[in-house]
Amino acid sequence: MLPEQCQILVVDDEPNLRRVLSAQLVRDGYEVLVAEDGEEGLELLREHHVDLVITDLRMPKVDGMELLRQALAMDPDLPVVMITAHGTVDTAVEALKTGAFDYVTKPFDQAEVRTIVRKALATRELAERDASHEPAALAESFRYGIIGRSPGIQEVCAVLDRVADTPTTVLISGESGTGKEVVARAVHENSARRDRPFIKVNCAAIPRDLMESELFGYERGAFTGAVGSKPGRFELANLGTLFLDEIGSIPVEMQVKLLRALQESEFERVGGVKTIRVDVRVVAATNSDLKKEIALGTFRDDLYYRLNVVPIQLPPLRDRCGDIPFLVRHFVGKFNARLKKNVVGILPEAAARLEAYSWPGNIRELENVVERAVLFCDSDQIRPTDLPPELRDESASTPSPPPTSQPVSPGSAADGLKEQVKAAMSRLEREIIIKALDQTRGNVTHAARLLKISRKGLQLKMKELGLREREEPREP
Ligand SMILES: Nc1ncnc2c1ncn2[C@@H]1O[C@H](COP(=O)(O)OP(=O)(O)OP(=O)(O)O)[C@@H](O)[C@H]1O
Ligand SMILES: [Mg+2]
Query: In the predicted model, what is the mean pLDDT of the chain?
Result: 85
Q: Which atom of ligand 1 is nearest to the CA of 363?
A: 12
Question: Is 136 domain-assigned?
Answer: no
Residue 11's CATH number? 3.40.50.2300
Question: Is 145 domain-assigned?
Answer: no
223: containing domain: 151-313
Indicate whether 48 and 104 sit together in one domain. Answer: yes
Indicate whether 188 and 287 sit together in one domain. Answer: yes
pLDDT at 282: 97
- Count Cβ atoms below 10 Å from residue 151 Cβ, excluding itself: 12
Indicate whether 159 and 245 sit together in one domain. Answer: yes
pLDDT in tens, 159-176: 998 999 999 999 999 999
Indicate whether 69 and 120 sit together in one domain. Answer: yes
Mutate to test the pocket of ligand 1, among 182, 198, 323, 369 (most ligand atoms within 8 A of CB): 182
Whether the pLDDT of residue 143 is over 70: the answer is no
**What 3-state DSSP class applies to 348?**
helix
pLDDT at 91: 80
Indicate whether 279 and 368 sit together in one domain. Answer: no
Indicate whether 21 and 119 sit together in one domain. Answer: yes
Question: Is 141 domain-assigned?
Answer: no
Q: Which atom of ligand 1 is nearest to the CA of 330?
A: 4
pLDDT in tens, 322-344: 899 889 988 998 898 888 888 98
Question: Is 183 domain-assigned?
Answer: yes
Protein residue closest via CA to atom 12 of ligand 1: 364
pLDDT at 410: 43
Indicate whether 178 and 298 sit together in one domain. Answer: yes
For residue 135, give every residue at least 6 positions away whose Cβ sits within 8 Å of its Cβ, in sequence order, or none: 329
Indicate whether 30 and 86 sit together in one domain. Answer: yes
Indicate whether 161 and 304 sit together in one domain. Answer: yes
What is the number of the ligand closest to the CA of 312? 1
pLDDT at 3: 67
Residue 348's CATH number? 1.10.8.60
Domain boundary among 131, 160, 175: 131
Domain boundary among 397, 427, 444: 397
Which residues crowd ion ligand 2, with CB under 5 Å?
Answer: 181
Name residues contacting ligand 1 (CB within 6 A). Answer: 2, 146-148, 174, 176-182, 287, 330, 363-364, 367
Q: DSSP letter for 31, please.
A: E
365: left (phi over 0), alpha (psi -120 to 50) or beta: alpha
Q: Which atom of ligand 1 is nearest to the CA of 172?
A: 21
Question: Is 243 domain-assigned?
Answer: yes
Kindly list the distances between the CA atom of residue 239 and the CA atoms of 26, 230, 242, in Å, as whole numbers in the listed order.
18, 18, 10
Indicate whether 254 and 325 sit together in one domain. Answer: no
CA–CA gap between residue 141 and residue 461 (Å, rounded): 41
pLDDT at 361: 94
Q: DSSP letter for 317, please.
A: G
Kindly list the distances between the CA atom of residue 97 and the CA atoms of 65, 68, 90, in Å, as whole numbers in the listed order.
11, 11, 11
pLDDT at 470: 62
Helices (H), 132-238: 136-140, 151-163, 180-189, 211-216, 233-236
Question: Is 143 domain-assigned?
Answer: no
pLDDT at 339: 87
Indicate whether 163 and 302 sit together in one domain. Answer: yes
- pLDDT, greater one: 430 or 68: 68
pLDDT in tens, 196-223: 999 999 999 999 999 999 999 999 988 8
* pLDDT, mean of residues 39-66: 90
Mutate to test the pocket of ligand 1, among 138, 181, 283 (most ligand atoms within 8 A of CB): 181
pLDDT at 94: 84
What is the number of the ligand closest to the CA of 360? 1
Report whether 254 contacts 247 (CB < 8 A).
Answer: no
Question: How many folded domains does the chain comprise?
Answer: 4
Question: Is 295 domain-assigned?
Answer: yes
What is the number of the ligand closest to the CA of 176? 1
Whether the pLDDT of residue 358 is over 90: the answer is yes
pLDDT at 147: 87
**One-letter identity of residue 431:** E
Q: Which atom of ligand 1 is nearest to the CA of 147?
A: 3
Question: Is 340 domain-assigned?
Answer: yes
* H-helix or E-strand spanning residue 392: helix 389-394
pLDDT at 126: 66
Residue 471's CATH number? 1.10.10.60
pLDDT at 127: 65
Highest average pLDDT, of 84-98, 112-126, 194-208, 390-404, comes from: 194-208
Report whether 282 contacts 244 (CB < 8 A).
Answer: yes
Indicate whether 44 and 167 sit together in one domain. Answer: no
